[in-house]
Every structure is written in C-alpha cells, then in structure tokens.
Amino acid sequence: MTQTSKKKLFTNKDVLTGILNSFRKLSPRDQIRNPVMFIVFLGAIITTGIVTTEVLSSKFSSFNFQICIWLWITLLLANFAEAIAEGKGKAQAESLKNVKKETTAKLWTGKTHSPVPAAYLKKGELVVCEAGDVIPGDGEVVEGIASVDESAITGESAPVIRESGGDRSAVTAGTKVISDRIIIRITAAQGESYIDKLISMVEGASRQPTPNEIALSILLVALTAVFVLAVGSLKGFMQYSEVQSGAETSLATIPVLIALLVCLIPTTIGGLLSAIGISGMERLLQKNVIAKSGRAVEAAGDVDVLLLDKTGTITLGNRQASEFIPAPYANAEEVARAAFLASVRDETPEGRSIVKLADSSFKLRNIEFKDHSSRFIAFSAETRMSGLDLEENGANSSYRKGAPDSVIKWVLSNGGEVHPTTKNSVEKIAKSGGTPLLVAHNTRILGVIHLKDIVKSGIKERFQELRRMGIKTVMITGDNPLTAAAIAAEAGVDDFLAEATPESKMSKIREEQKAGRMVAMVGDGTNDAPALAQADVGVAMNTGTQAAREAANMVDLDSNPTKLIEVVETGKQLLMTRGALTTFSIANDVAKYFAILPALFTGLYVLNGTPILGSLDIMGLDSPQSAILSAVIFNALIIAFLIPLALRGVAYQALPAKDILRKNLLIYGVGGVIVPFVGIKIIDLIISGIGLV
C-alpha cells in the first residue's frame, strides 16, 4: 500500500466504477437495506408503471415522465455516494491483497526444513525465513534476529528489526526478510492472519452499523413513516377541499403525491448515511490507521480521557542536554569542552545532544584531538559512564561523563576530590525532573550536564485543544513521581501516572471507566495488551507485538502515538457529519412545503380566478408543474452536491460543545432552511426558461 495524494477526493476512474456500481445497487436486495431510499425506490417503480400505462394508452405526460426520471436519478445519486465511498476502500484492499501472494513456507522440523505451501500452515508450526524470503504467516520470532521490510503494510520503506523475545518479536505475513535468519512460530491460521483481517476490515465486509447509526436510522425511518401519513392524509384533506371548493381537476395525482413524499422524507441524509460511515473509516485509513470496526471509530469521538505514553508521544524519544553547570572552580567553556570530548564518539542520542549543545554554545566542532591515539570508553551498565582517553600535551588525559555516583567514585579512585557544591547542583537537577550527568577530567569534577526530556513542540497547544474539547490527558511514564510531575507541568497534561506498570495502567483505566469516562490509549508492548483490551479505544502500533495488535481495536500503521488525537477528531467528525446532514435534510423540508403545497392547492378555493392559497407561493415559481419538478430536482441534486461533504466530513475545530453546536446549527440548520429556497427558485427559472414544463 502506497501513500497516495490525499488532496483529491476521487479520481476519474473512481467516478466511473462508482457510476457502474450505482446501477448495480438498484437491486431490491440492496435497496431494502435502507428504508428511506426504499420508499423512493417503490415510488420510482410505481411512477414508472404509471408512465408506462400512459404511454401505452397514448396519454403521455411529459411532466409525469420527468418526475419519474428524477426519482430514479435520486436513487442513483444515493447509490453513487455509497459506491464511491466503498470504491476507495476496495482500492486499498486490492493493494493489500497483492501483498498476500501465494508463498512457499520452509517448515522447520528442528534440524532441516521442508517446503510447504503457506496456505497449509497450521497454528503453532515453526517456519524458518532467510534473507529474501517472504514471511508466510503471522507469527512470533522464537529464534534469531533479522531486519524485515514491512513497507508492504506500512508504506514505510526503512526496514525494522525483528528478534526473539521482547516487544519486537511479532512478524506479519507478506513482509520480507532482508537480512539474517529467523525461526518463526505461526500464531494465526490461514484466513485469520493480520493481513486477512486488514483486508476484510478495509473492504467493509465486517462493517456493522454503529450504535449511533442505528439510532439515527430509527429516527429517519420514523420521520419517513410520519411523512407517509402526512402525504396519505393529505389525499383525504384534498379530496374534502376539492369537493368543498368545487374544483374540477385535481393536481393531487399519484406521481405528484409521490414526488411530494420523496421530497419530504429525509433522502439527503438517508442517501448519504452509509457513505458517511464508510468514509469515516476511510479517513482513518488515509491517516494510516485501520479501525477494526466502525464502532471503534465512533467510540473515539466520545473519548473523555487519553492515556499517552510520555516517551515518543509527549517528549522526544530521548533526553537531551540542555545546560552545562560549571563547578565553582571551573568555567562553562571548560565543562563544555570536557563534555564534548567525553561524548564526541558517543553515538547514543544523549551523547549526540551533548555534542550539539557544546558546539552550539562554544563552537567546539573543530576541536582537535589525535584520533588514532584516542580510545573511546563506551557506556556500560556496570560503569554507568562513558568517555575518552587520549594523549594531550604529551600526557594521558581521561574525560568521563556519567551517573554522579559513578563519576565521583572514578575521580576519588584517581586521587581527586569532590567539592561540596557538586552534590547541590546534582540534587537541584534531579528535583527539577532532569537527569544530572557529572563531567570529569582526570582528578577534577568540572561540572554537571543537565539532561532533560524535551517536550515536543506544539504538543502543549494540542493538549490545550483537547482540554477545550473536554478531553483529559494523562501521561504514562516509568519515571519517578518527581520527574513525572515536572514534565507533566511543562507539557500541560492534566494528570500523570508515574512509575507505571502494566497493572497500574490497567487500574488507572478501570478507575476512569468506573467514573463513567471513556478511555483511549496507545500501546505496543505485550504487557500493554490487557490495558489495550480494557480501554474503550485501544490503538496498537504496527511495530508492536502480535498480542498488542490483537487486543487493540485500531492499528496505526505508521506507529505514531500522536495519532490518537487525530483518531479522536475523526470519530467526532463522523458523528458531526451525520448530525449536520440530518439537520440540513430536515430543515430543507420547510422550503419544499412552500414550493409544492401552493402548487398542489392551485385548484382549491379559487376566488376571481386566483387560488386563495397562492399567497403561500412566496418563491413566485413559474407554474405548479415547474414548482413540483424543481423541488424534486433540487432534492436529487443536493445529494450529489453533498457527496464531497459526506466523504470529507464537516470541518472540525477543537471548540467546546456549545460553540460547535452554535456554529453547526447556523450553517446546517439556518442554512438548511435558506439554501433550498434559493436552489428551487434557480432550478425553476432554468427549467421554465428552457421549456421543460
């Protein structure tokens, strides 16, 4: 799967297949699934029947024929919306399927391996994969280490390391081993593998209507039922009024009443409802997040609490040097130079950050030292120091940086002394949540490096947005409470969980849920799996373990924990789009009444040649026929106009609920009343201008 441009909503090819599929979806079996559109379907069939009889008895009415055509167009447009939303998912599924080519697995028997078609692999069997092999099934590395190209799934071209044990042991079918050799235990039977699941999710095969979608459908069906009654009873009221006013002809023919009914029932939202749902998952897909169900996407919109890992989400991956604090007898440049030398060959992120800081403060890049004579002392868990030994001015010179007690020990063993202020500086940094590193040269402690977590730029603003949306953020970290509090304050999270263990994460989630809140979290390790399963929305990193990916209800292919925030926004957007279009659809009815009813009532209570109810025709439409037809045409075309909105979702801003409501009410409620008045008038001008009626 490659990342395609996200700018264009659909291509010409999408449109073409969409059109084809919208005809295919005219089958009763597809139509009955959507009760609102099914009424339109029935109406179109009845009208077609009437028009056909008229043609056969040579009483052809162009007006009825046009109503009939527009009813079918209404249906096709609704189908088209759904087809195009599905089509985009299908394209994505296709590219996933290509990944899942027929492969031959090397079944491992303990000493040798024998070829077996991947399709026959059973759960629990061992296979061996060497450089160049495609991994035949989802599994867990039980032996060895290898670099694996997972671009087929993630779109990320850099290979990743997979090794036995730990959190990087999961491998996915369809990915390719680039180097080395691993033995894998198959963990999923054929057809149930991760990629199979992705395909079925993307294809929407397992797409079940979400709770809100069901509730909304009930509302739409009920509204439809009421309008069926309203139009049905209107037939009675009109018959009464025709008798009372002595009208000779009646405009309330079956096609006209069907037209009125179709205009009134919520076809706009009814026609777009499934497209909205599909495109919600689709938008997540574009962000490279795969939701296992629509329910999960919807739940994301309701999240009250976000549990975020500190490292990688709130802070940059590693701690960085932020300051050199010299001992009273040394100056800052001396400290920087020593720190630079102690770190110049240190490839750890901390080491590089020290070099960077030293260079940017004192321009030490070009410092000269004889490379061949220097010896790098790498960090080890035992010494907890790193540094450089070299020849300087003809003497042996040793630079070290590291954990304070280790460095002190080293200096003392070299015969040096420790100044009392050293301890103070160290403690001060520790208290502020940072990590102090001592820098020493031979027998002298020169000063302290302040390593600290760097909060990602922009993340604080993100949290503020979330707070405005009513979402609480909780930072999860293995740090001690002191450090955690300092970072939490700097990042602006609402709460933190320090010295987190899988158990404490779990109990935090339970506690929040008990208070009625919906919790979302991101995780990747096997020990995250229970918490991911417990959370209402669990997003697993694709780089994570099989267990984590199984437990979560979403998978982030980019493995970017900050995505959680976007997932929440997509969930909200999904609901908002449904709500906005429902409001719009219902608000439209006002104008449609004002277009159709006066037209329908032209023959009633006529005084001196003017129908008394003509006063209701505030749009001044050309003729009764043109009024009715314009309303039907508007009703069909508005679906087409709103397809992009349904696919893209309404614009989302992080605002408190009441502000969002005010805004959407204005756009979709008030707008929904006004737009059709204008639209119907324009259509009326056009069709009466070109003489269609």
Partner 1 sequence: MQTETIFYNIFFFIVLFSLGYPFGLFMARVFEGDIPKRVSWIKPLEKIIYGFSGINAEAKYSASTYLLHLLIYNAFGFLLLFLILLFQGHLPLNPQGFAGLDLPLAFNTAISFTTNTNWQAYSGEVSLSYFSQMVGLTTQNFLSASTGLAIIMVIVNGLRNKLDKTIGNFWVDMVRMNLYVLLPLSFILALILVGQGVIQNLAPYVKAVTLEGVDQLLPMGPAASQVAIKQLGTNGGGFFGVNSAHPFENPTPFSNFLQLLSILLIPVAQVFAFGKLMKDEKQGFSIVAAMAVLFTALLVVSHWSEVSTIPTWANGVPMEGKEQRIGVNESVLWSVATTAASNGSVNSMHSSLSPLAGLVALFNMMTGEVIFGGAGAGFYGMFLYVILTVFIAGLMVGRSPEYLGKKIEAYEIKLAIIGILVPSALVLLGAGLGAVSSWALTSTSHKGPHGLSEILYTFASTAGNNGSAFGGFNANTPLLNVLLGVTMLIGRFVVIYAVVMISGSLAQKKYTPITAGTFPTNTYIFSVLLIGVVLIVGALTFFPALTLGPIAEHFLLLKGHTF
User: Which are the catalytic amino acids?
Assistant: 309
In the complex, least distance from residue 310 CB atom to partner 1, rounded to whole angstroms: 23
Give the whole-angstrom CA distance, residue 297 versus residue 200: 16
Which residues contact residue 347 at a Cβ distance below 8 angstroms, ignoring those fewer than 6 apart?
none
Smallest distance from the beta carbon of 580 to partner 1, in angstroms?
6
* Only segment of 61-69, 362-370, 499-507, 649-657 that touches partner 1 (CB under 8 A): 649-657
Q: Pick from 61, 245, 286, 562: which binds partner 1 (CB under 8 A)?
A: 245
Crossing angle of helices 624-648/671-689, nearest 10°? 130
Of 235, 365, 375, 510, which one interacts with partner 1 (CB under 8 A)? 235
Q: Is residue 555 part of the contact set for partner 1 (CB under 8 A)?
A: no
| Span 96-115, contacts to partner 1 by CB under 8 A | none
Least distance between partner 1 and beta carbon 635 (Å): 15
Given 110, 515, 690, 691, the residue binding partner 1 (CB under 8 A): 515
- Binding-site member from 9, 161, 218, 678 for partner 1 (CB under 8 A): 218
Interface with partner 1, residue 615, by CB under 8 A: yes
The yes or no reply on residue 33 touching partner 1 (CB under 8 A) is no
Residue selected from 597, 640, 685, 692 as contacting partner 1 according to rule CB under 8 A: 597
Q: CA-based Rg of the chain, rounded to a whole angstrom?
A: 34
For residue 554, what are the β-bridge partners? Answer: 291, 539
Structure tokens at 53: 């009889």
**According to CB under 8 A, which one of 63, 80, 194, 227 is a site residue for partner 1?**
227
For 544, which DSSP code?
S
Residue 215 interacts with partner 1 (CB under 8 A)?
Answer: yes
Q: List C-alpha distances in Å: 284 to 6, 79, 235, 289, 677.
A: 12, 22, 48, 5, 36
Cα–Cα distance measured from residue 549 to residue 523, given in angstroms and rounded to the nearest whole number? 9
Selected from 259, 335, 613, 621, the binder of partner 1 by CB under 8 A is 613
Least separation in angstroms between CB 264 and partner 1: 7
Half-sphere exposure of 464 (CA within 13 A, CB side): 6
The answer to whether residue 226 forms part of the interface with partner 1 (CB under 8 A) is yes
Determine which residue in the list 604, 643, 675, 683 makes contact with partner 1, applying CB under 8 A. Answer: 604
Point out which span in 2-10, 241-249, 388-396, 407-415 binds partner 1 (CB under 8 A): 241-249
Rounded least distance, CB 188 to partner 1, Å: 33
Among 104, 206, 233, 424, binds partner 1 (CB under 8 A): 233
**Minimum distance from residue 377 beta carbon to partner 1 (Å):** 53
Three-point CA angle 98, 571, 87, nearest 5°: 35
Confirm or reject binding of residue 612 to partner 1 (CB under 8 A): yes
Give the other-Cβ count within 10 Å of 36's Cβ.
Answer: 24
Contact criterion met (CB below 8 Å) for 433 and 453: yes
End-to-end CA distance of the chain: 51
Burial class for 537, CB neighbours closer than 10 Å (0-12, 13-18, 19+): buried
- Gap between the Cα atoms of 469 and 566, Å rounded: 13
In the window 259-278, what residues touch partner 1 (CB under 8 A)? 264
Sign of torsion over alpha carbons 139, 145, 146, 152: positive
**Beta carbon of residue 571, minimum distance to partner 1 (angstroms, whole number):** 7
From 316-324, 402-410, 465-473, 544-552, span contacting partner 1 (CB under 8 A)? 465-473
**609 is a contact residue toward partner 1 (CB under 8 A):** no
Which member of 130, 147, 652, 685 binds partner 1 (CB under 8 A)? 652
Select 245 or 421, whichever has its Cβ closest to partner 1: 245
Token code pair at residue 115: 């070829």
The two three-digit tokens of residue 134, written as one number:
């495609």
Q: Distance between CA atoms of 664 and 466, rounded to whole angstroms? A: 19
Q: Which range, of 152-160, 355-363, 457-465, 656-664, touches partner 1 by CB under 8 A?
A: 656-664
665 binds partner 1 (CB under 8 A): yes
What lies within 8 Å, CB to CB, of 284 at 6+ separation is 290, 291, 297, 554, 567, 570
Spell out the alpha helix ranges (H) of 148-264.
151-154, 194-203, 211-245, 254-264
**413 alpha-carbon distance from chain centroid:** 57
How many residues lie near partner 1 (CB under 8 A)?
Answer: 77
**516 near partner 1, judged by CB under 8 A:** yes
Instruction: Say if residues 9 and 644 touch (Cβ distance below 8 Å).
Output: yes
If one asks whether residue 660 binds partner 1 (CB under 8 A), the answer comes out as yes
In order, the DSSP letters of 87-100 are HHHHHHHHHHHHHS
Min CB(423)–partner 1 separation in Å = 46
The three-point CA angle 416-417-423 to 5° equals 135
| Smallest distance from partner 1 to CB 68, Å | 23
Among 42, 116, 189, 230, binds partner 1 (CB under 8 A): 230
Stretch that binds partner 1, among 64-72, 88-96, 353-361, 464-472 (CB under 8 A): 464-472
What is the DSSP annotation of 604-670? SSEETTEEGGGGG-TT--S-HHHHHHHHHHHHHHHHHHHHHHHHH--------HHHHHHHHIIIIII
Task: Indicate the SS3 state at residue 139.
Answer: strand
Of 177 and 256, CB closest to partner 1: 256
Q: Within positions 393 to 432, which residues make up the interface with partner 1, using CB under 8 A? A: none
> Could you say whether residue 583 binds partner 1 (CB under 8 A)?
yes
What is the CA 408 to chain-centroid distance, rounded?
A: 50
- Per-residue binding letters, 558-577, with partner 1 (x by CB under 8 A): -------------xxxxxx-
Q: Which of 607, 609, 690, 691 binds partner 1 (CB under 8 A)?
A: 607
Query: Is 302 among the residues that bind partner 1 (CB under 8 A)?
Result: yes
